[in-house]
Amino acid sequence: MADPTLFAAPAAAAHGAASGGTVEITVTLLIIVGFLAGLAWFAKRLRGGFKAGGARIQVLGAQALGPKERAVLVRVGDTDILIGVAANSVNTLHVFPAGAITVTPDAAAADASGANAPNFKSLLLKSLGLKGQG
Print pLDDT tens along the chain (134 aa). Answer: 566 666 666 655 555 555 678 889 999 999 999 999 999 988 887 776 555 555 678 888 888 888 889 999 888 888 888 899 998 999 998 888 877 765 665 665 665 555 566 777 777 787 777 765 55
pLDDT for the residue 130: 76
**pTM score of the predicted model:** 0.41
Q: Count the neighbouring beta carbons within 10 Å of the beta carbon of residue 97.
A: 9
Q: Which of 87, 57, 49 has its CA nearest to residue 70?
A: 87
CA angle 12, 17, 23 (to 5 degrees): 125
- Hey, where are the domains in the chain? 11-47, 56-100
